[in-house]
Structure 1
Amino acid sequence: MRIVHTCLRYPPATGGVERYVQEIAQRTRRVSPDATDQSLRDVRVLTSTMRTHRPISELAREALQDDPPYVQRLRAKDTPLISYPRLQGLSHYLGHHQPDVVHGHSFWYQPADAAARYARSHDIPFIFHPIYYENALRRKWQWQLYKHTIGRATFAAADVVAVISPFEQELIERSGLPVKRFELISPGVDEAVLTTAQPNPFAEISRRGPVMLSVSRLSLGKGLKAVFRALPEVLKAVPDAQFVLVGEDFGIQSDLEAAAETLGVTAHVHFAGRLSDMALVGAYQHAALLVHPTQYEAFGIVLAESLAAGTPVVARNVSAVPYVAPDQEVGLLFEENKELADKLITLLQDRSLRERFGQAGQRRVRENFSWEGSIDKITSLYDELLG
């Protein structure tokens, strides 16, 4: 059995979709948890060398030296007038690998569209993970034309459309795109890793006061300025509170630094950049809370990771966020930016509430977001579609 994934970007490129594909590829290779190298599934990944795609920037060559042999990277070219990077030679390499099953990831992008065309023309099963969303950009005429032509054909070719949250399924159903069959396959978290004690990477900062943690690319759409605008009010109530931002700069760090200076909160704001996996676990474990003000989440893996580590969340009540982190059960959700400061203050000042939410969050992740359950669904689909 040979399975080939096609995706726009892949770690070390950052992002929840990138990590989702990586986890599926790594975990489905093993026929069983104790499988030997001789009994691995033949799983391959066709992806790009891109770090970002709007505009196109490349991952550093040395960052790709640890790629496993089953990952093949292709150069990407811009498409005039629209952000639709094309992986060069993708259809050729799909044919070269001769898959029995094709997984395409991410609606609006060429790797999924090429996978759909290949699967349809070769009459092989196609599993589509659209990570579907719509925003102001995607409502422009050129993207609506894409949606109702190329995009519609990609959905129609899928034997299974795998969604990562009920919210995503509802969004697709409202869109009118053709779907033969939905399967809910949410990302999982590694509970054992996230509950194994790690050192505090911000020990010195933590000694100054409770840490509000953000784990996110520093980019537009993540809503981070809302936290900065809330900080002066938060600091009146909790004068020693600290705000630590973990994540790569995608073009807005200088604006955020300027906002901190203007608001007079620079001494309480710390940009940590990208952390190693274990340092990130330590950051989750030792933070007072995770703050996640993003404008959209198809799932929100950082929410699940924080909850698995026992750390409650304050997040915007949008899209799939309440599915992962129900309000008043594992954290506090806000609708309007003006509500954010009060939510942060409430959790910062109430240790027993943080502990109760943290324990409930760990239960929710354990019961709903295990990789074992998600991978079992995927491997069962392989057996069914090829049976």
Structure 2
Amino acid sequence: MHLAAPFPAPAIADAQALYIHWPFCVSKCPYCDFNSHVRDSVDVAAWRTALLADMAHEASLTTGRPLSSIFFGGGTPSLMPPALVADLIAAAQAHWGFTPDIEITLEANPNSVEAARFGDLATTGINRVSLGLQALDNEALHFLGRAHDVAEGLAALDTAQRLFDRVSFDLIYARPDQSEADWEAELARALAFGTGHLSLYQLTIEPGTRFATLVAQGRMTPADPDHGATLYELTAAMTGAAGIPAYEISNHARVGQESRHNLTYWRYGDYMGVGPGAHGRRGGMATLRHRKPENWMGAVERNGNGLQSEEVLVGDDRAREALLMGLRLGEGVDLARIATMSGIVQDRLVNDRAIDQLTGLGLVRLDGARLQVAPAGMLLLDAILPELVAI
């Protein structure tokens, strides 16, 4: 990751984003501890009515600024009926209007059932697909709990690349027993597919997951942190050489192919969340929808929206969130902008002594009001952020 000036993107002040959460899966998620969303069938008409009502509520509070991105995520959004996707996109355009280069992303599992629907989904306005490939090794896919194999995943990738303007896929590395040579070969193969965006994550052991249980039982040994650091550096070198460098700690893109939707999150712009469990940030408010589908649906029927809570974020909260999100980016953060947005004076935002020490170690850089974590610092980001952020 190089220290770069901000890359072109719609101005945060002029646009906003929309996240639409479709909660349903057709099979149990290997990572999810909440599986009441597994359904054999869904009352599409009822869900269409509820999602449109939830969206209309958000629109009533956020008019006057067009959408620069829409992201369909959640359970298995690529199994949404294409007609429903089209209706939601049309409603969003009617409510807010679109920037000329709007990005409309669909999250999809790379299996033959979902890939067969890509053609219909491509006619709805979707122009970007994010595929959860996760590995290019069948044994690894089995370990990760994925239902697809490599051949099926690559067939879905080929279909997506033929039908959509922009395609991204993700891979997980630093898996148990994965050598440097193993990851080098897998990443080289991934880069050869020529997508404009890659999300490359190190395997992390989160409390309450199946992996945490396996570690506790002694049935899984996580990758050594030093080995993980070696793989991270290898990743940065290979993606940079291929012209798809990191612009965020785990995300890599060709120039102009960065995820505009995720940039809204990382740059702390406004986004509306619609659907069960969806989070949002709008006008200094943190919004949260009811997570359980039935509870969300009941709230929409009673109140005209699926909100569980709305919380006013005080200046310290907004500044802290903006710093923690923005310092993940290679471009870093504009401290003057955060001060203006939060009402917190710039001197209170960060620890000047820590900046001086970390700058001397080559881990951060301060240029005027722009603070960036250096490539070497990204390896230590979790330790660096508490030192930098003063609020």
Q: Give the TM-score taking structure 2 as reference length.
A: 0.32
Q: Give the TM-score taking structure 1 as reference length.
A: 0.32
